[in-house]
Amino acid sequence: MQFDKAKLAAFYRDALGDISLDALDMSRMPAHVSIIMDGNGRWAQARGLERSQGHLAGVASLRETVTTAVRLGLDVLSVYAFSTENWNRSQKEVTFLMQLFAETLLNELPLFHQEQVKLRFFGDLEALPQKTQETFKQGLAETANNTGMVFALAVNYGARAELARAAALLAAEAKAGSIDPASIGPADVEKYLYTAGLPDPDLLIRTSGELRLSNYLLWQIAYSEMYVTPTLWPDFTRWDFLRALVAFQARERRFGGVAS
């Protein structure tokens, strides 16, 4: 996707940082960056605050990250906001997060319009509270004609559930006689993933130092480069994003082939 050189330079000039934008090769940018945002709870705990305060601080990081991704000209930014396992958290935290998602989305709609960001969701939204579902639908409808970066939020998402859903949809097609089971290949599966039509992530970032995939995009990250930073999500800035991209560009991607 296009990026505005002057806007990008100004965006990085606006804040103090310890790495130069010159370290980045703009001709070798990833198309899709995905982020496992982790560490809100620990960030709050370290300050003697409630976990909810960590999530609020996480929203500010997310806003900066979306803006950075747009300035950098990425095609897709996706983030893991709530997993199928996160329902096991306290009722209080789950309720807070669901309200936060709805409120944040409404608050950010003007920014999405200004930056031509197009929203998308990964996950089973039917299980979400009515109000959250309605807000998500509104966000989808209002950004549907935007032509810039796709911003995808994984909410009530789990890769195993996603793959089981794809299998069920393919089985239904086979039962109806519209597909031959023997002919099913990866492209048929991809058609039924939440990410259908999007490029696979080139780079997967995980904050807070955990070396786990946590049931996230297991199919799509087959050849993604991983970058794990000890930085907790609320502390993640445009400079951390830059560092991840510079590290990504230093890797040699082989997609299962041999070194050139």
**Sequence-distant (≥ 6) Cβ neighbours of residue 181 within 8 angstroms:** 174
Cβ proximity to ligand FPP: between 100 and 246 the closer is: 100
Nearer to ligand FPP, 30 or 234 (CB): 234
State the minimum distance, in angstroms, from the CB of residue 73 to ligand FPP.
22
What DSSP assignment string belongs to 172-213? HHHHTTSS-GGG--HHHHHHTSTTTTSPPPSEEEE-TT----
Task: Tell me the closest approach of the beta carbon of residue 236 to ligand FPP, in angstroms.
Answer: 10
| Active-site hit among 75, 86, 146, 188 | 86
Residue 38 Cβ, how far from ligand FPP at the closest point, in Å? 5
**Phi/psi of residue 114, each to 5°?**
-55, -40
The rounded distance, in Å, linking the Cα atoms of 155 and 153 is: 6
Closest approach of ligand FPP to the CB of residue 193, in Å: 20
Residue 104: closest CA among 94, 96, 92:
96
Q: What does the DSSP 8-state code read for residue 79?
A: E
CB closer to ligand FPP out of 59 and 170? 59
The residue (of 66 and 166) whose beta carbon lies closer to ligand FPP is 66
**Nearest distance, CB of residue 130 and ligand FPP, angstroms:** 17
Q: Would you call 86 a catalytic residue per the annotation?
A: yes
Residue nearest to ligand FPP (CB): 41
Q: Is 32 helix (H, G, I), strand (E, B) or coil?
A: strand
Question: What amino acid is encoded at 234 in this protein?
Answer: P
End-to-end CA distance of the chain: 27
| Separation of alpha carbons 138 and 55, rounded Å | 23
The binding site for ligand FPP (CB under 6 A) comprises: 37-42, 55, 58-59, 62, 81, 86, 97, 100-101, 104-105, 153, 208, 233
Classify burial at 133, counting beta carbons within 10 Å of its beta carbon; exposed 0-12, middle 13-18, buried 19 or more.
middle
Comparison of 166 and 195: residue with beta carbon closer to ligand FPP: 195
Could you tell me the CA-to-CA distances from 247 to 104, 172, 224, 253, 260 in Å, in that order? 31, 43, 13, 12, 19
Q: Single out the catalytic residue among 38, 200, 202, 240.
A: 38
| CB nearer ligand FPP, residue 58 or residue 73 | 58
Min CB(75)–ligand FPP separation in Å: 20
Task: Just list the catalytic residues.
Answer: 38, 86
